Amino acid sequence: MLLGSGELGKEFVIAAKRLGQTVIAVDRYAGAPAMQVADAFEVINMLDGDALDRIVEKHRPDLIVPEIEAIRTERFYDYEKAGIRVVPSAKAANYTMNRKAIRDLAAKELGLKTANYRYATSFDELKAAVAQVGIPCVVKPLMSSSGKGQSTVKAEADIEKAWQIAADKGRGDVAEVIVEAFVPFVSEITLLTVTQMDGPTLFCAPIGHRQERGDYQESWQPVLLPDGFLEQAQEMADKVTRALGGAGIFGVEFFITREGVVFSELSPRPHDTGMVTLAGTQNFNEFELHCRAVLGLPIPEIRQERPGASAVVLSSIDTMHPVYTGLEKVCAHPRADIKLFGKEEARQYRRMGVVVLNAEPGADVLALQKEARQLADLIEVKVPK
């Protein structure tokens, strides 16, 4: 049972179906991307614990695979006790669906280097937290993804707006934010980390990414890091995934500074920046890795085979049943591909597809990033005639 049925869930379902699995896709609205390729679907508010209990009892799945944050994750412990395996584990899903739990685990329990941070449950507490961590700082809802509800406070006048954005855009019912001191980073990376039931923890080559509005725009793989930095990131990723337990892929995000690596966030599932692996950069893409790991199938190695880049296709309009132009321009490129997610509703800045591109080993990945962006910009989201 897949809880959350967006574009990442859709690719996971495709990987699962190729391994003979039966998948029930769940989301708050009908026609979600993963529902289009699943065996069955349910439409519920996953923050309604009773509704969640009902569909779990109805389908009695062997595995529950969360894909989003807005889930009554504390119920996962009961499902595990009933013999249903939660991916990667009930603890991992519960901790990482809430930024407070995972940040305290990383910083306080494991001693990982993170940005200075505070929490706030009201506007007055937010003002006090900003005063403690300093300006500039970043304000994020405790429950959100893809940058939703995130904003940067550059002056005191921004604090009230930041509180409002977090309240409007955060997911779930947790009216609390995390305030992080701004880290003067050189770049950001995602380190896809695969934990196995009966094998060693494996790491994909690091993925670079660029964000706007807190949401990823392009990603590229591999990223060359200064000597010792990759080892720092792998050590931190191993510590935090080991503490959370279970088997599956984790998207572990880091800031790369001039001095070293700083832990940022963690997702217990395939990561949006990891869509670059759909370009054939590895022997297995991130969704195939996740599926193998959760099914307990061995992954002998993760092999980086070629450089690649991805760039998202964003909508600039609001419409139902959008149509697309420019596909032939992307398809004319010999090393590019496009994945349209099949979302029935387009709205401004919504992610509607992704262009992926690869090159021969040794190619300049930053040049690939720019090329992927140019190709993605050829796709236009239009109102149907």
Instruction: Please confirm, yes or no, whether 214 is among the known catalytic residues.
Output: no
Identify whether 328 is a catalytic site residue: no
27, 42, 218, 272: which one is catalytic? 272
Catalytic entry in 5, 114, 144, 145: 145
Dihedral in degrees, nearest 10, Cα atoms 91, 6, 98, 3: -40
To the query of whether residue 253 is one of the catalytic residues in this protein, the response is yes
Q: Which is the catalytic residue, given 253, 286, 288, 371?
A: 253
Q: Which position among 49, 147, 260, 342 bears the catalytic label?
A: 147
Cα gap 332→1, rounded to integer Å: 38
Is 57 noted as a catalytic residue in this protein? no
Is 183 labelled a binding residue? Answer: yes
370 marked as binding residue: no
Maximum separation of any 2 CA atoms in the chain, in Å: 57
Catalytic residue flag (residue 273)? yes
**Would residue 260 show up in a list of annotated catalytic residues for this protein?**
no
Asked if 219 and 225 touch (Cβ cutoff 8 Å), the reply is no
CA-CA distance, 27 to 204, in Å (whole number)? Answer: 29
Write down the residue that tokens 């869930």 correspond to: 9
Question: How far apart are the C-alpha atoms of 220 and 370, rounded to whole Å?
Answer: 10
Question: Residue 265 annotated as binding?
Answer: yes
Instruction: Confirm whether residue 5 is marked as ligand binding.
Output: no
Residue spans of alpha helices (H) in 248-300: 286-295
Q: Does 308 show up as a binding residue in the annotation?
A: no
Residue 147 among known ligand-binding residues: yes
Residue among 244, 248, 270, 271 nearest 201 (CA): 248
Indicate which residue of 273, 277, 281, 310 is catalytic: 273
Is 266 labelled a binding residue?
A: no
Tell me whether residue 72 is annotated as binding: no
Tell me the residue ranges of DSSP E strands in 145-186: 151-153, 177-181
CA–CA gap between residue 159 and residue 261 (Å, rounded): 28
350 labeled part of a ligand binding site: yes
- Active site includes 351? yes
Selected catalytic residue, list 11, 42, 265, 288: 265
Q: Is 343 annotated as a binding residue?
A: yes
140 marked as part of a ligand binding site: yes
Any binding-site annotation on 351?
Answer: yes
Rounded to whole angstroms, the Cα distance separating 328 from 11 reads 23
Residues designated catalytic: 145, 147, 253, 265, 272-273, 351
Annotated binding-site positions: 7-8, 67, 99, 140, 145-150, 180-183, 188, 253, 265, 272, 343, 350-351
Annotated binding-site positions for Mg(2+): 253, 265
Annotated binding-site positions for ATP: 99, 140, 145-150, 180-183, 188
